[in-house]
Amino acid sequence: MASENEKAFFNNLYINNHSIMLKYARNFFNNREIAEDVVQNTFLVALENVDKVINSANPGGWLMNTLRNIIGDVYRSQKRLLDIYAQFDENLNATDFAADLRIEYKGIVGEEDLDLLFQVYCNGMTYQEAADKLGISISACKKRIQRAKIKFRQALE
């Protein structure tokens, strides 16, 4: 459990850095929700490493370096996914690509989870659009996407 000083420290850190970090992440991703996810993940890593952040000479810099690493991880994951299929057919269009991926990954996770991941990460659907399509709240949609990503990642490992 975080002490009151740690809570106050992270509250100030969040207030002073969140918008800058979100702008930075938006430069890499054309999907606002993905940018928000990487920023959230950065703060989660910071909470897990509270001693390192507090003892850092530049906590804001520590956050930005962590954000860059997380952005790199997400970018590399997306690129790996694209590279897998680019080697099969250099003339794939976006529709063919999505269809091939669905065939390749069918059965790894549930059909609904797979469809949701494709809509958000391959087709650029926003979380709000996905939530509306599913008839659920945006927070429930984010949680469903998070769980689907975990299942997908575990199935691939």
Q: Which of 9-18, 74-83, 89-98 has the lowest mean pLDDT?
A: 89-98
Read off the tokens for 60: 């804001």
Give which of 42, 73, 74 is closest to 59, Cα–Cα: 42
Chain CA centroid to CA 139, Å: 15
Position 66 scores a pLDDT of 95
Q: Residue for token digits 């996407």?
A: 145
Q: How many CB atoms lie within 10 A of CB 134?
A: 15
CATH-assigned architecture of domain 90-157: Orthogonal Bundle (1.10)
Read off the tokens for 1: 């459990």
Integer CA distances (angstroms), 95 to 11, 82, 102, in order: 44, 13, 11
Position 91 scores a pLDDT of 47
Give which of 96, 138, 134 is closest to 115, Cα–Cα: 134
Read off the tokens for 52: 């390192």
Position 75 scores a pLDDT of 79
Answer whether residue 95 shows pLDDT above 80.
no
Read off the tokens for 31: 């999907």
Please give the CATH topology (third level) of the domain spanning 1-87. Rna Polymerase Sigma Factor; Chain: A (1.10.1740)
Q: To the nearest whole number, what is the mean pLDDT of the chain?
A: 80
Chain CA centroid to CA 85, Å: 21
Each domain of the chain, given as residue ranges in start order, spans: 1-87, 90-157
